[in-house]
Amino acid sequence: MLKTRVAHGYCSRDLAAEACSYANICETCPNFTTTPEFAPAITAQINDIEALRIDADQRNWPSEVARHDRVLDSLQHHLQRLQN
């Protein structure tokens, strides 16, 4: 089972389906906007996704690792903008 952090839980997509192209779509959308009040939630999400990325890497799931990398890059960018 692939594990994807979504708002208020996780998606339990079957491994045979590969990484979901819709997972975390909002966080990587160019229209996504956040404010400082959400910084703690974004930080928590980054921590969760980093752990999920390590798990996917250890299981040799390259498409899942790549998806986690894209979401991490996007969330880290959003958090950096809030901190500047």
Distance of CA 70 to the CA centre of its chain: 7
Among left, alpha and beta (phi > 0; psi -120 to 50; other), residue 47 is alpha
Locate 74 and state its tokens.
């996007």
What domain count does the chain have? 1
- Write out the E strands in the chain: 4-6, 9-11
Range of the domain at 60: 4-83
CA atoms of 28 and 31, how far apart (whole Å): 9
23 phi/psi in degrees, rounded to 5: -60, 135
- The model carries a pTM of 0.80
| More confident: 29 or 15 | 29
The answer to which of 26-30, 35-39, 68-72 has the lowest mean pLDDT is 26-30
